[in-house]
Chains A and B, each alone.
Chain A
Amino acid sequence: MDNSILNNIPELPVADWVETGVDWLTDNLAFLFDALKDGGDTLMDGMVDLLSFIPPVLFILLVAAAAFFATGKKFGLAAFSIVGLLYIYNQGLWEQLLETLTLVIIASLISIIIGIPVGIWMAKSQWANAIIQPILDFMQTMPAFVYLIPAVAFFGIGMVPGVFSSVIFALPPTVRFTNLGIRQVSEEMVEAAESFGSTGSQKLFKVELPLAKPTIMAGINQTILLALSMVVIASMIGAPGLGEDVLTALQRAQVGSGFVAGLGLVVLAIILDRLMQNFNK
């Protein structure tokens, strides 16, 4: 009986709506998406070329030196970087590494450039906070694969849709942590800044952001790691890099080569994470 009532409600065409919406965007904003794709491809191809231009030996040494100084002149991370990167080179994954690195860097930079101002806005405005908070929840809980579909619709396949979906997936931590960091600045600090006649932006740049910096950096760290995990998934829509090798291995059930490329990703993740954490100090 009860079920019959429920069954009498016609099924809502949610899927149709979304498709219509995406189609509309694809048709009407095609010029924008095309421009972004062309610009993005040029930028990222250029960056991969630039990185490839650096001899691998020099590249490895540069990373090791950065690790050495970032960790306060300790050898641990530097040694790990050398061994890890030599392993990747040895397995013939150097080109893929540079492509993945480019994707991660671009996706992270875009996330940071969008994320920090949005986080500041949320901290300053209860309205913005109330509206953006559920959007962030949505972005983080929606299965990452779902973003791949509109990304393809907008940008076709390749690096640009990979970055697009990575940004959606990786953006929330930077926004959340920036918001949190600024809200956590103690009342007395804010009062001290105001009592000396600071303007809003003086308060923000001289007191709030410096005090929120460790928290914001933790958010950026999360963003980078999420971007890294997403560029692997984005290989399904033709984003090149280490993820592509993992995907190929998966499709052919080659456990060995899957492991080899996967380990390369782990190496990259550890180096990026530790470097970020130490720059943060």
Chain B
Amino acid sequence: MAKVKVENLVKIFGRREEQALKLVREGKSKEEILKQTGATVGVNRANFSVEEGEIFVIMGLSGSGKSTLVRMLNRLIEPTEGNIYIDGENISTMNEQELREVRRKKISMVFQNFGLFPHRTILKNTEYGLEVQGIDKETRQKKAEKALENAGLLPYKDQYPNQLSGGMQQRVGLARALANDPEILLMDEAFSALDPLIRRDMQDELIEMQKNMNKTIIFITHDLNESLRLGDRIAIMKDGEVVQIGTGEEILTNPANEYVQRFVEDVDRAKVLTAENIMERPTFLTLGQAGPRVALQRMQQEGLSNMLVVDKDRTLRGYVTDEEVAAAVKQGNTDLTSILHTDIPQVPRKALVNELFDLIHNIQTPVAVVEDGKLQGIVVRSFVIAALAKESEESNTNG
């Protein structure tokens, strides 16, 4: 039996609900209904089911109704029509009391902007779901600490959310959602607010975690790469309708309609992969803090023949090479500025990978990914080649 089953789910926003609903049943599109009644169709007769232990990704652009859809699963938004079954129980007809029990025991949610309570410590945030169930203080503290420990966040338990970085805050969000051991996790654009490097780490962690936990996860995203990475199956939404459901492979191979086709075309990896997708955390020297001696030691430690140099505010200044740094140390020079090379190749975060390939072809230094003059990451030649190789491999299997 499906863990979650959604039948003909409809959400209409605005007045003249009845009239709009009638048009929905007649199969009219969102646009027509808006024109005729002034009501907005948030979700238009969605049908799907999610199996236990599955990561089910719902993908669509903003305004496609994916966030509305996921909020109807725990009735943060009341459905206008249709049924939601969890383990065969109809959520949509439950009274407040029964619904509260489901929210407390079965479904947890992770929010785009983390949804952490700023007036509560990390531990108190993690306890929240247990606290509202009336679980005694000792037990809930123990459970919350366990959840934080699994996320590697126990040392931060007495801090407040604003003292943590975005990535860590979302780990707390996830730990909080897992603390009351739900069967289903709803993740609403959970990683969208994080920067790309952290985002990929979090995706990996989620996959890793899922191997041990076997939760049923419904994950909302607007990012195709994220969908392909995470989703056992993917549902694509447009204008409130679910236009296709399938595995990543199925969707790439047989796009159901033109809309999906357009998404899929974007998947051409070299076209869609940008510098930020393949960049790595940079190692760099900070001007004014590091002189030639520090530079030499760091380069030997990391096994690098050259290293980027930035200002205190991370503005990229150039790079230094190991030979020249060694020479400077010998001469007793204490400043890196004199041996700084400024001819460093730079690209913006959104630079396409096949452009990088041309750039990286015959240079020795890594390429710096720079946004507003500030160093964001580095791209080295092997990553570009690996990314392109993966693309040709995929296009072979797809073609």
- Taking the closest CB of chain A, its distance from the CB of B77, in whole angstroms, is 9
From A88-96, A112-120, A195-203, A223-231, give the one contacting chain B: A195-203
Q: Are B132 and A197 in contact (CB under 8 A)?
A: yes
Interface size class of B (residues with CB under 8 A): 20 to 34
Judge if A83 is at the interface, Cβ distance under 8 Å: no
- Which residues of chain B are near A213, meaning CB under 8 Å? 119
Complex alpha-carbon distance, A211 and B101, angstroms: 25
Measured CB to CB, the closest approach of chain B to A195, in angstroms, equals: 4
| B281 close to chain A: CB less than 8 A | no
Contact between chains at B103 and A194 (CB < 8 Å): yes
Are the C-beta atoms of A192 and B109 separated by less than 8 Å?
A: yes
The answer to whether A192 and B108 have CB atoms under 8 Å apart is no
Chain A residue at minimal CB-CB distance from B119: A210
B19 within 8 A of A: no
Q: B133 within 8 Å of A by Cβ?
A: yes
Which of A189, A195, A202 lies in contact with B109, CB distance below 8 A? A195
Q: Interface digits, B202-215 against A, CB 8 Å rule (1 contact, 0 not)? A: 00000000000000
Say yes or no for A206: interface residue by CB 8 A criterion: yes
Residues on B with beta carbons closer than 8 Å to the beta carbon of A191 = 71, 76, 109, 111, 115
Task: Please tell me if A11 contacts chain B, counting CB pairs below 8 Å.
Answer: no
Q: Which residue on chain B has the smallest CB distance to residue A211?
A: B119
| B71 contact set on A, CB distance < 8 A | 191
Q: Is A2 an interface residue (CB 8 A)?
A: no
Give complex CA distance A194, B109 in Å: 10
**Does A196 contact B119, Cβ atoms closer than 8 Å?**
no
| Distance in Å: Cβ of A47 to nearest Cβ of chain B | 34
Q: How large is the interface on A (under 10, 10 to 19, 20 to 34, 35 or more residues)?
A: 10 to 19
For the complex formed, measure the closest distance between the CB of A200 and the CB atoms of chain B, giving whole angstroms: 9
A239 CB to nearest B CB, Å: 39
Nearest chain B residue, comparing its CB with the CB of A198: B132
B104 part of interface (Cβ distance < 8 Å)? yes
From known contacts A199-B100, A207-B117, A210-B119, infer whether A194 and B76 are also in contact, taking CB-CB under 8 Å.
yes
Query: What's the minimum C-beta distance from A215 to chain B, rounded to whole angstroms?
Result: 13
Nearest-Cβ distance from residue B357 to partner chain A, whole angstroms: 41
Q: Please measure, in the bound complex, the distance between the C-alpha atom of A71 and the C-alpha atom of B100, giving whole angstroms.
A: 43
* Contact status of A189 and B117, CB under 8 A, knowing A194-B103, A199-B100: yes
Query: Chain A contacts of B102 at CB under 8 A?
Result: 197
A192 to B, closest residue via Cβ:
B115
Tell me the dominant secondary structure on chain A's binding face. helix
Inter-subunit contact A196/B180 (CB<8 Å): yes
Kindly state the separation between the CA atoms of A196 and B71 in the bound complex, as whole angstroms. Answer: 13
B132 lies within 8 A of A195 (CB):
no
Asked if B128 lies at the interface with its beta carbon under 8 angstroms from chain A, I say yes
Q: Judge whether A196 and B113 touch: CB under 8 Å.
A: no
**Complex-state Cα separation, A232 to B234, whole angstroms:** 70
A188 is contacted by which of B101, B105, B111, B128 (Cβ under 8 Å)?
Answer: B111
In the complex, which residues of chain A have a beta carbon less than 8 angstroms from the beta carbon of B117?
189, 192, 207, 210-211
CA distance A211 to B186 in the complex (A): 25
Is B227 an interface residue, CB under 8 A from the partner?
Answer: no
How many angstroms from the CA of A33 to the CA of B132 in the assembled complex?
44
Q: For A210, list chain B residues within 8 Å (CB).
A: 117, 119
Report yes or no: B132 in contact with A199, Cβ–Cβ below 8 A: yes
Quick check: B113 and A188 within 8 Å, CB to CB?
yes
C-beta contact mask, A206-224 vs B, less than 8 Å → 1, else 0? Answer: 1100110100000000000
State whether B128 touches A196 (Cβ < 8 A).
Answer: yes
Chain A residue contacts of B119, Cβ below 8 A: 210-211, 213
Q: Are B129 and A197 in contact (CB under 8 A)?
A: yes
A192 / chain B contacts, CB cutoff of 8 Å: 109, 111, 115-117, 128
19 of the cross-chain contacts (CB-CB < 8 Å) are A191-B109, A191-B115, A192-B115, A195-B107, A196-B103, A196-B104, A196-B128, A196-B129, A196-B132, A197-B99, A197-B104, A197-B129, A198-B132, A199-B100, A199-B132, A206-B131, A210-B117, A211-B118, A213-B119
B residues near A (Cβ < 8 Å) are: 71, 74, 76, 99-105, 107-109, 111-113, 115-119, 128-129, 131-133, 180, 186
**Which of A's residues lie within 8 Å of B, judged by CB?**
188-189, 191-199, 202, 206-207, 210-211, 213
Query: Assuming A195-B103, A210-B119, what are 7 further A-B pairs, CB within 8 angstroms?
Result: A195-B74, A196-B129, A197-B99, A197-B104, A197-B105, A206-B128, A210-B117
